[in-house]
A = this chain, B = another copy of it.
Amino acid sequence: MDYVNGPGRNHLFVPGPVNIPEQVLRAMNRNNEDYRSPAVPALTKTLLEDVKKIFKTTSGTPFLFPTTGTGAWESALTNTLSPGDRTVSFLIGQFSLLWIDQQKRLNFDVDVIESDWGQGANLEVLASKIAEDKSHTIKAICIVHNETATGVTNNLATVRKILDHYQHPALFLVDGVSSICALDFRMDEWGVDVALTGSQKALSLPTGLGIVCASPKALEASKTAKSVRVFFDWSDYLKFYKLGTYWPYTPSIQLLYGLRAALDLLFEEGLDNVIARHARLGKATRLAVEAWGLKNCTQKEEWFSDTVTAVVVPPHIESSEIVKRAWKRYNLSLGLGLNKVAGKVFRIGHLGNLNELQLLGCLAGVEMVLKDIGYPVKFGSGVAAASAFLQNSTPLIPSRI
């Protein structure tokens, strides 16, 4: 019962879950432990301190929920809002759609600002809504930093500017699932109130941690938020933080040690270097797509994502055939097009613990798949475009002796 066993490595280029570095696999290769011993709290303490760095916050309070991104969303919303509260949300792709769906099912009054899939959040509409909302009926702005379905990165700094300009007190809630640890993200500077990510994305861990970080204002809001919550309630965690035992229920010992290793790797490379690496790999991917004569689903450069590229295929091609073929012939895992863009795009994830040659192998694989599927790609064209850029920009690996 193990299908990922063609000869050689599986080439994992979905935009999550991503490749786990050996150091993290090693750290997780361990028996369970009593989480009530002195050891687990001592470890947890370092994690809570250090995980703040990936959000670039000093004032935030992090929570390590044993859940997925969907659970982290729910935790962000239910701890800060009450049923009937008005949220403004941007519908720009499948993951923003799912979050909006969750907001509706949690009984918020969701004010949806829709864009074409491939465009970023329409911040002009946001600005006008904020401008109009003198009575502050808008309780929260909910925005996906990086829409994983279309490869669109939204401009969070502008959201903050709009709120500040109108001195609007709405909470600023950010889904950073496919951005944090990979794209430039500045919780404190941008006044983000709740930011969240999942362990299986740029942190390069297995799925299982929904990491949520709350600003002091969000914590304050949680005291009066009336949404029903138990498992996802911050107050239970805060109670155990005070006691120094940290856990209201059983954490995954393996993921805690894995997170420790993942953070150590990030800090060793340097978070800003990690972000720069993602910028390099993102650009290299886009240069390849361009060289192939294919279109990026993302309509403007300002929204280009450095963690995932959704590639538009010509109308006569069914993109899911590309994904199937890649998997079945070349042990290459690409992302499907989802919902509105199903059949129309395939996605290359280029996030997490990844390097240049892994990406180039993927790009060479895509070329072969494109040829397989009847698209007249010129072999080596995408790789050449990507390589020329990467050969210019890749730094030496600092840890190498």
Binding site for B on A (CB under 8 A): 1-12, 14, 16-23, 25-39, 42-43, 46, 66-71, 73-74, 83, 101-102, 105-107, 198, 200, 206-208, 227-233, 248-255, 257, 260, 265, 268-269, 274, 277, 327-333, 335-336, 353-358, 360-365, 367-368, 371-372, 378-385, 387-388, 390-391, 394-397, 399-401
Contacts and interface: CB of A to CB of B under 8 A. Distances in A.
A136 B49 CA distance: 51
A208 B19 contact: no
B38 A5 contact: no
A358 B361 contact: yes
A252 B206 contact: yes
A142 B34 CA distance: 27
Contacts of A329: 394-397
- Tally of this chain's copies: 4
24 contacts: A1-B42, A3-B399, A4-B33, A4-B37, A5-B265, A7-B269, A11-B357, A11-B358, A22-B31, A26-B27, A33-B333, A66-B66, A68-B250, A70-B248, A74-B230, A105-B233, A208-B255, A227-B228, A231-B232, A331-B355, A363-B364, A379-B387, A379-B388, A383-B383
A69 B66 CA distance: 11
Contacts of A16: 250
B248 A106 contact: no
A7 B276 CA distance: 12
